[in-house]
């Protein structure tokens, strides 16, 4: 039944960009014609380091992201990827510029037919069975390089023969391989389990399609190897350093900036801070927001909802510490805190092990339990940390270094 539904969705969502297929003035068509006219021995430029044969090959590049209707870490990283390829058009299932703000302003963005459905961004997670067909229907005729950024779907696009596809993987699909944890507290999750089984099979197949996989951390690279049987290069996410300035650290509160999802385990921090008698501010939105509002009633925690970058910088820079109570794929939040001169208390697991230097840029607690976090809060001493040293640590994850390495990994991908 699911297979029939996917086939129907594929037929319904077939759409082609005629300008790419027939316009002789299309840049990618001109590029292809230019390449065809070259002698075979001229495929590699003799005056440049090993890279694509023709300078300006970026005219034939397209970018893909799952959906651009949120403003979290994955979207910010994709914005950095987009800056690395400034002329490349973007393909995505959904786009909500009122949420992403200026991240993709001025870019050519091709949105799937799903993006035209009324109020689709309110229930987009429920459309999971349709996304495989949506991404397989994108037409990349005329492009020789596709760069995708994905937590689930974009790695499954189909590309023309001879083209390369480099996929930056933010995580192995949590809603498939960590289904119980990802959907904890959601109604009807047992009814959806058979559909998830079908999607898991598609996900494994789709992960074999890219020419090269890039993981955002060693943690995610290990998951890729375990679930997909493939090796991945590791390229850590960049920190947008210009968004943050070192604060005074004068506040008495702890701080969380996060999407509000069950696997983030934010209730652990609410309980720990309440037991310790210290204020906790939580910035962010997501499906678990209402449940966390109920959980925080009568405690020392305040949920702020979505806040802009200016307020985020101010709150982060003046916090006693940032808190990361759940296992993260990479651990961007500790680096954003460090860029503000603020240390982090995090669960000793996942990507945080790659972004926190214990006793230098933060502290760990060992069990995903409020009692363990409460003990870490009790031991924590803000005066031990040098804000400028924290900032220097964040600067080692610079956007410039990320862009240079990403371009090289794309240029060196085997054809």
3-state class of 398 per DSSP?
Answer: coil
DSSP SS3 for 205: helix
CATH number for 243-395: choose from 3.40.50.2000, 3.40.50.410, 3.30.40.230, 3.50.50.60: 3.40.50.2000
| pLDDT at 32 > cutoff 60 | no
Q: Long-range pairs for 226-233 at CB < 8 Å and ≥24 separation?
A: 227/172, 227/177, 228/172, 228/204, 232/169, 233/409
pLDDT of residue 185: 58
The pLDDT tens digits of the residues spanning 358-392 come to 999 999 999 999 999 999 999 999 999 999 999 99
The alpha carbon torsion through 316, 324, 350, 381 (nearest 10 deg) reads 80
Q: What is the rounded CA–CA span in Å between residue 75 and residue 117?
A: 22
The answer to whether the beta carbons of residues 344 and 394 sit under 8 Å apart is no
Residue 383: what pLDDT?
A: 95
Q: pLDDT, tens digit, for every residue of 279-316?
A: 999 999 998 999 999 999 999 999 999 999 999 999 99
What rounded mean pLDDT belongs to the chain?
86
What are the start and end residues of each CATH 3.40.50.2000 domain in the chain?
243-395
Maximum mean pLDDT: which of 32-46, 57-71, 102-116: 102-116
Partners of residue 374 on adjacent β-strands: none
pTM reported for the whole predicted model = 0.81
pLDDT over 50 at 39, yes or no: no
- Using alpha carbons, list the distances in angstroms from residue 46 to 43, 145, 306: 9, 21, 51
pLDDT in the model for residue 364 = 99
Number of residues in the chain: 415
Can you tell me the distance from the alpha carbon of 162 to that of 174, in angstroms, rounded to the nearest whole number? 31
Contact 233, 400 (CB under 8 A): no
Among the four given CATH numbers 3.40.1350, 3.30.70, 2.60.120, 3.40.50, the one describing domain 2-27+36-238+399-411: 3.40.50
d(CA 316, CA 390): 13
Nearest to 318, CA basis, from 334, 342, 302: 342
Rounded CA gap, 248 and 242, in Å? 17
Rounded CA gap, 334 and 290, in Å?
25
């Amino acid at each position: 039944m699911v297979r029939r539904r996917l086939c129907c969705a594929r037929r319904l969502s077939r759409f082609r960009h005629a300008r790419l297929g027939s316009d002789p003035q299309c840049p990618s068509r001109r590029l292809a014609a230019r390449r065809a006219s070259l002698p075979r021995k001229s495929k590699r430029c003799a005056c440049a380091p090993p890279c694509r044969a023709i300078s300006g090959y970026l005219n034939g590049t397209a970018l893909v992201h799952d959906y651009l209707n949120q403003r979290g870490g994955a979207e910010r990283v994709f914005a950095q990827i987009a800056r690395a390829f400034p002329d490349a058009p973007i393909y995505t299932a959904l786009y909500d510029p009122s949420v992403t703000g200026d991240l993709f302003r001025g870019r050519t963005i091709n949105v799937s037919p799903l993006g035209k459905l009324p109020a689709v961004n309110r229930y987009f997670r429920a459309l999971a069975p349709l996304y495989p067909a949506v991404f397989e229907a994108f037409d990349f005729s005329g492009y020789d390089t596709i760069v995708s950024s994905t937590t689930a779907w974009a790695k499954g696009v189909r590309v023309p023969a001879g083209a390369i596809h480099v996929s930056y993987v933010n995580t192995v699909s949590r809603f498939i391989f960590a289904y119980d944890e990802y959907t904890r507290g959601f109604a009807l999750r047992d009814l959806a389990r058979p559909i998830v089984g079908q999607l898991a099979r598609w996900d494994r197949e789709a992960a074999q399609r890219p020419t090269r996989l890039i993981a955002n951390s060693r943690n995610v690279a290990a998951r890729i190897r375990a679930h997909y049987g493939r090796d991945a290069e590791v390229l850590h996410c960049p920190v947008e350093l210009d968004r943050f300035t070192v604060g005074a650290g004068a506040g008495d509160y702890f701080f969380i900036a996060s999407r509000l999802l069950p696997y983030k385990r934010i209730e652990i921090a609410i309980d720990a801070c309440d037991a310790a008698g210290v204020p906790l501010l939580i910035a962010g939105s997501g499906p678990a927001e209402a449940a966390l509002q109920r959980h925080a009633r009568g405690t020392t925690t305040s949920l702020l909802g979505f806040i802009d970058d200016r307020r985020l910088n101010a709150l982060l820079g003046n916090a006693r510490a940032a808190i990361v109570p759940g296992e993260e794929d990479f651990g961007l939040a500790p680096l954003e805190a460090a860029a503000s001169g603020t240390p982090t208390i995090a669960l000793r697991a996942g990507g945080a092990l790659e972004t926190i230097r214990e006793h230098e840029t933060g502290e760990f607690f060992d069990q995903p339990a409020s009692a363990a976090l409460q003990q870490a809060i009790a031991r924590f001493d803000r005066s031990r940390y040098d804000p400028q040293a924290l900032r220097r640590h964040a600067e080692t994850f610079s956007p410039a270094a990320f862009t240079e390495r990403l371009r090289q990994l794309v240029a060196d991908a085997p054809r």
